[in-house]
């Protein structure tokens, strides 16, 4: 989800990352394909539109078993929004995915599986998707979910009055949606209600990743009278369709989710999920039983790994996330409009030192855009290595060998609410100063403000992280770096990159499509459109023994439904 900004990448707190968040290997394009979930197994790039899967029945259960009951207590931060049309960060998405449902979703294996739609068919050369909605799908107030609820929600997201920054990214493949976004229509011909339980989409070209895009909240069903009667504050009392409903929300204090008894599938085992928004020292809160899980920071690594420490029995390993932490540049703004200046900055950063001495090996130096283990990851990508002499030479060859007074002030903006900025950012700024004589001011802003300024291209340079919304490189290479993408936050433009990602959009050969994205990624790194700094590695967390079946996953999906409390 958007994509998705992680302050440290080392905690399990519900702070945000900017995000936008199937199996098979048939290279040929089928003209008439019935489809449901991809098979469980490895995480793969979205395949060609082929195969012969069969529909699956609803797994709904009317009665909870002996796992039912209890409250999960976690630490988090205020979500910038609870509106599915507006979500562009992980702290919001983590809540929205528990409150609302789409036609399809990602399961724990990161495969696309049925959600409110129990079956679908892909026809007309991969340009028409017809979904059949479950008979038992209902909103949290018991109202049946219909095809019209999806059509209205999707067209609302595209409407300029909604002011969604993500509708174009995730919905504009649908015929007629761009006209709504541009203010030239209010209805999309490519979204057709055939009857209460049948919805049809027509997209502008066969695109293997389109189904994955529908797992993003912009395509989720909304109850129209709930939204319209509530006005701008409708999310204070949202009528959702996910496994949980919003029970309580006190900004800066706590947010409580409660079991949705009208959920179409097996209701959650948990009675409630309590998210502490007031902040505090996570480790101290964990030891005081105020929260049930926490990430392990550098200061506590040795202690929790000591078998003699009582906390050691709660220690679990967490898989690396599909997240890349980076420094971005507005390439229209001096001095970042000079590629040699950006390259000089890249070669002046010792990422190995940061990974080992700042993060004690808990991160991996990043060479490229796509993180390891992600579909399309290029292990042979040629990154910009630490080379102080080359950095100095490139600076001398740039248009800014010595910065003028007008261009001297460089500001790197990061999320934060006061206090000292992240040590890692300070270390990078010091490397630029020591190696190149380039001085940097670090500016911290509140998260929601950061997002607004980022999306409006107001930032000269910025530190952030991108987490995948769905397992396809299109979610990174196309969305972040195509010159006309609304999420091209640095105004980067390279005609060769545009050509490659445009070809990849409709390429049905999985191998060739991967190659196209990897070629584009190499150009992006050579141009230093991004300066990737680190990727996650396997981390450590503490979780109370009473908490069962809590899944740590590399992407943001709904996870609380399967958690249960053993007391």
Per residue, what are the HEC states of 406-452? CCCCEEEEEECCCCCCCHHHHHHHHHHHHHHCCCEEEEEECHHHHHH
Tell me which residue has tokens 């998707």. 129
**pLDDT: which is higher, 255 or 405:** 255
Contact (CB, 8 A) for 324 and 466: yes
Range scoring the smallest mean pLDDT among 251-260, 340-349, 447-456:
447-456
Confidence of residue 446 (pLDDT cuts 50, 70, 90): confident
**HSE of 384 in the Cβ direction (CA atoms, 13 Å)?**
29
How far apart CA 24 and CA 36 sit, in angstroms, is 12
Q: What's the whole-number mean pLDDT along residues 326-340?
A: 94
Tens digit of each residue's pLDDT (9 = 90 or more) over 266-285: 999 999 999 999 988 999 99
Q: What is the pLDDT of residue 40?
A: 35
How far apart CA 162 and CA 32 sit, in angstroms, is 35
Confidence of residue 406 (pLDDT cuts 50, 70, 90): low
Eight-class DSSP state of 198: E
Q: Using only C-alpha atoms, what is the Rg of the chain? A: 23
Mean confidence (pLDDT) of the chain: 87
Q: What's the whole-number mean pLDDT along residues 397-412?
A: 78
Whether residue 465 is predicted with pLDDT greater than 50 in this model: the reply is yes
Task: Kindly give the pairing relationship between strand 254-259 and strand 112-114.
Answer: unpaired
Domains of the chain: 68-292+556-567 (3.40.190.10), 323-536 (3.10.105.10)
Whether residue 392 is predicted with pLDDT greater than 80 in this model: the reply is yes
Q: Of 499, 494, 503, 504, whose CA–CA distance to 526 is shortest?
A: 494
Q: Which two tokens stand for residue 33?
A: 């394909």
Q: Of 496, 508, 487, 551, whose CA–CA distance to 89 is shortest?
A: 487
Whether residue 56 is predicted with pLDDT greater than 90 in this model: the reply is no
User: What pTM value is reported for the model?
Assistant: 0.86
Burial profile 39-77: b = 16 or more Cβ within 10 angstroms, e = fewer: eeeebbbbbbbbbebeeeeeeeeeeeeebeebebbbbbb
How far apart CA 185 and CA 529 sit, in angstroms, is 35
What residues pair up with 318 in beta bridges, in sequence order? Answer: 539
How far apart CA 179 and CA 182 sit, in angstroms, is 5
Tens digit of each residue's pLDDT (9 = 90 or more) over 336-374: 999 999 999 999 999 999 999 888 888 899 999 999 999
Phi-psi domain of 360 (left: phi exceeds 0; alpha: psi -120 through 50; beta: other): left
Q: Which two tokens stand for residue 544?
A: 């109370």
Q: Of 468, 449, 446, 467, whose CA–CA distance to 458 is shortest?
A: 449
Tens digit of each residue's pLDDT (9 = 90 or more) over 98-141: 999 999 999 988 899 999 999 999 999 999 999 999 999 999 99
What residues pair up with 533 in beta bridges, in sequence order? Answer: none
């Amino acid at each position: 989800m958007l994509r998705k900004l992680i302050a440290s990448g080392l905690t399990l707190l519900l702070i945000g990352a900017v995000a936008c968040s199937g199996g098979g290997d048939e290279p040929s394009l089928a003209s008439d394909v019935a489809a449901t979930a991809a098979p469980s197994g490895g995480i793969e790039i979205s395949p060609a539109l082929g195969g012969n899967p069969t529909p699956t029945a609803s797994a709904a259960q009317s009665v909870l078993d002996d796992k039912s009951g209890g409250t999960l207590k976690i630490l988090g931060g205020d979500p910038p929004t609870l509106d599915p049309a507006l979500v562009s960060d992980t702290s919001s998405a983590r809540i929205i995915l528990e409150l609302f449902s789409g036609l399809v979703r990602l399961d724990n294996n990161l495969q696309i599986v049925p959600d409110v739609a129990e079956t679908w068919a892909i026809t007309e050369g991969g340009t028409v998707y017809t979904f059949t909605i479950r008979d038992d799908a209902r909103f949290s107030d018991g109202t049946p979910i219909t095809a019209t609820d999806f059509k209205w929600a999707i067209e609302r997201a595209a409407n300029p009055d909604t002011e969604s920054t993500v509708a174009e990214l995730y919905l504009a493949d649908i015929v007629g949606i761009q006209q709504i976004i541009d203010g030239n229509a209010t209805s999309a011909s490519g979204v057709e209600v055939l009857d209460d339980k049948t919805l049809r989409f027509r997209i502008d070209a066969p695109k293997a990743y389109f189904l994955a895009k529908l797992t993003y909240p912009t395509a989720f069903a909304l109850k129209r009278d709930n939204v319209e009667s509530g006005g701008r504050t409708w999310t204070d009392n949202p009528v959702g369709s996910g496994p949980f409903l919003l029970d309580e929300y006190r900004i800066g204090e706590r947010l409580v989710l409660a079991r949705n008894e009208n959920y179409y599938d097996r209701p959650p085992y948990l009675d409630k999920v309590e998210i502490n928004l007031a902040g505090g020292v996570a480790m101290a809160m964990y030891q005081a039983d105020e929260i049930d899980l926490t990430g392990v920071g550098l200061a506590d690594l040795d202690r929790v790994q000591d078998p003699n420490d009582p906390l050691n029995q709660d220690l679990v390993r967490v898989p690396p996330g599909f997240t890349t932490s980076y420094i971005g540049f507005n390439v229209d703004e001096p001095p970042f409009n000079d590629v040699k200046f950006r390259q000089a900055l890249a070669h002046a950063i010792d990422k190995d030192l940061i990974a080992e001495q700042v993060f004690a090996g808990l991160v991996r130096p990043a060479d490229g855009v796509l993180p390891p283990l992600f579909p399309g990851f290029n292990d042979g990508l040629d990154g910009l290595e630490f080379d102080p002499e080359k950095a100095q030479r490139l600076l001398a060859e740039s248009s800014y060998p010595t910065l003028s007074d007008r261009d001297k002030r460089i500001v790197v903006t990061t999320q934060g609410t006061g206090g000292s900025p992240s040590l890692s950012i300070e270390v990078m700024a010091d490397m630029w100063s020591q190696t190149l004589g380039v001085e940097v001011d670090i500016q911290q802003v509140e998260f929601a403000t950061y997002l607004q300024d980022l999306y409006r291209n107001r930032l000269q340079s910025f530190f952030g992280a991108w987490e995948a919304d769905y397992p396809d490189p299109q979610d990174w290479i196309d969305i972040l770096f195509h010159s006309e993408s609304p999420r091209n936050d640095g105004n980067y433009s390279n005609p060769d990159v545009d050509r490659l990602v445009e070809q990849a959009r409709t390429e049905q050969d999985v191998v060739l499509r991967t190659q196209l994205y990897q070629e584009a990624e190499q150009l992006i790194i050579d141009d230093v459109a991004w300066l990737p700094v680190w990727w996650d590695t396997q981390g450590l967390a503490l979780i109370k023994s009473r908490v069962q079946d809590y899944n740590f996953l590399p992407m943001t999906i709904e996870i609380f439904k399967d958690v249960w409390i053993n007391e």
